[in-house]
Amino acid sequence: MFDKKTVEDFDFAGKRVLVRVDFNVPLDERKVADDTRIRAALPTLEYLLDQGAALILCSHLGRPKGVTPEFSLRPVAEYLERLVDAPVYFAEDCIGPKAESAARALLPGQILVLENTRFHDGEKKNNPEVAKQLASLADVFVDDAFGTAHRAHASNVGVADYLPAVAGLLLEKEIRYLGQAIADPKRPFVAILGGAKVSDKIGVIRNLLGKADQILIGGGMANTFFKAEGYAVGDSLVEEDALEVARALLEEAGKKLRLPVDVVIADDFTAEAGCKTIGMGPIPDGWRILDIGPETVAGYARVIAEAGTVVWNGPMGVFEFPRFAVGTFELAKAVAKSAAISIIGGGDSVAAINQTGLAERVTHISTGGGASLQMLEGQALPGLAALLDK
Ligand code: AMP
C-alpha cells in the first residue's frame, strides 16, 4: 500500500537531515494564528531528534513575490521553539552563505529553520540549482509536507535528485488514510463535496463516480448543477463555462450524485444580508443561494450516519458569514458523530470541524487540501513519486 521508504528505514544518528515540512500556516500580524500544521510535523521531528539527527527545516509560507518580510518564517521558528525540547535557530535565507554557515554549525539534537523557500523564484520552477544548494546543506532528505505533495518544487521534488529521500511520518499517515479510503473503502463510501467551484472538482467527481456509493454536493458548486438542470438561479455564483460538463456529470451519475433539496437564499452577498429558506426551485432575481437548507442537512446526515467511510472536502455554504454557516457546521457535526471512517481535507472544512469542538471524533484531518483533492482525482503526487521506493 505505502511503497516508499520512510524515516523508519534509515539510520539518522549524527546525520544532518533536511526536512521539508509544511509550515504554510496562517499568520495574524506576524503571529501564528493556527498551529495545526506545526503540531502535525512534531512526530517526525521528535523521532529524528531522538535518533540523534541535526534538523534543517525548510518550507514555503504564502505566496510571496521575491523576498517579502511579511512572509518570513521567523515567527514560525519562534513558535516551534515553544513546542519542542530542542534549541531552534533561524537562517535568514534557505540557500547561500547564511544557510550554509548556520547548517555547518548545527549539532545533533538542534533544529535550524530556513527562511521561506519561495523567496527564491527557482523554488516553484523546480530549478536544479536551488535544489542542489538546498541539498548541499544536509546528508539526507525527509519529506513530511503532504500539503505540497501535489507540486513539483525544488524543496520537495528537486532535492530528491541530490540526496537519499524518504517520507516523514505525517506524509506516510496522510497517504495511508486517504489511499486506503479510495482504494478499499469500508462501504457505503460517501463523499461530500462543497466549495465555490465545480470546475475545481470535476476530476474528483469523475473519479469518485466509479468508487463512491454516494456523492453529496453543497456549496457554490451546487448552483452550476442547478442551472444545468434548468433552474433559474437568480444572482447565485454560477460557472457558465462548466454548465456542459455539469450536465454530463449529472447524466453519468444518476442517483449517485445528490443535490440540495432546499437552500438558504440571501438578498445580498454580505454577513448581514436578509435571508430565507426555500425548497429548491427557481431563485428570484436579486437573490442568491448561500447555504444548504435544513431538509438537505437532515437528508445528508442520514446518509453520513449509515456510511462506512466519509470523505469531505469543501464547505456547504459561505460559512465565513455566520448566518450562512449553519449547513457546514451541521454537516461537520454529522460527520463527527458518525461511526464511519472519516477523513476531512481542505482548509475551510477543517476550520469548520475545529470550530464544532468535535475534531477528535474525526478519523483523520488532512493537512493538505490540494494534495488530497489530487489523490481523490486518482492522480499521482509528484512529491511522493520523488522518494525512494521501499
Ligand atoms: P473552495 O476554495 O473551492 O473550497 O471554496 C471555498 C469557498 O466557497 C468559501 O470561501 C465559501 O465562502 C465559498 N462558497 C461556498 N458556498 C458558496 C455559495 N453558495 N456561493 C458563493 N460562494 C460559496
The highest-level CATH class for domain 177-376 is: alpha beta
- State the pLDDT at residue 354: 86
Residue-level pLDDT, tens digit, the chain, 390 residues:
789 999 999 999 999 999 999 999 999 999 998 898 999 999 999 999 999 999 999 999 999 999 999 999 999 999 999 999 999 999 999 999 999 999 999 999 999 999 999 999 999 999 999 999 999 999 999 999 999 999 999 999 999 999 999 999 999 999 999 999 999 999 999 999 999 999 999 999 999 999 999 999 999 999 999 999 999 999 999 999 999 999 999 999 999 999 999 999 999 999 999 999 999 999 999 999 999 999 999 999 999 999 999 999 999 999 999 999 999 999 999 999 999 999 998 878 888 888 889 999 999 999 998 999 999 999 999 999 999 999
- State the pLDDT at residue 348: 84
For ligand 1, what atom is nearest to the CA of residue 200? Answer: 3
Fold designation for 7-170: Rossmann fold (3.40.50)
Output the pTM of the full model: 0.92
Helix, coil or strand: residue 107: coil
Residue 111: phi, psi to the nearest 5? -125, 135
**Quick check: CB of 289 below 6 Å from ligand 1?**
yes
- State the pLDDT at residue 277: 98
Extents of the domains making up the chain: 7-170, 177-376
- State the pLDDT at residue 55: 98
Domain 7-170 matches domain 177-376 at the CATH topology level:
yes
Return the closest-CA partner of residue 160 out of 186, 113, 195, 128: 128
**Quick check: CB of 250 below 6 Å from ligand 1?**
no
Q: Which of 179, 299, 308, 370 is catalytic?
A: 370
Residue 134: phi, psi to the nearest 5? -60, -45
For ligand 1, what atom is nearest to the CA of residue 291? Answer: 19
Calculate how far, in angstroms, residue 264's C-alpha sits from the geometric centre of ligand 1.
Answer: 14
Q: Is 383 an active-site residue?
A: no
Calculate how far, in angstroms, residue 170's C-alpha sits from the geometric centre of ligand 1.
Answer: 28
Distance of CA 35 to the CA centre of its chain: 14
- State the pLDDT at residue 347: 79
Calculate how far, in angstroms, residue 237's C-alpha sits from the geometric centre of ligand 1.
Answer: 9
**Quick check: CB of 239 below 6 Å from ligand 1?**
no
42, 81 Cβ separation under 8 angstroms: no
For ligand 1, what atom is nearest to the CA of residue 317? Answer: 16
* Cα 175 to Cα 92: distance, rounded to the nearest angstrom: 32
Pocket test for ligand 1, best of 235, 348, 350 (most atoms within 8 A of CB): 348
**Quick check: CB of 196 below 6 Å from ligand 1?**
yes
Return the closest-CA partner of residue 222 out of 250, 180, 182: 250
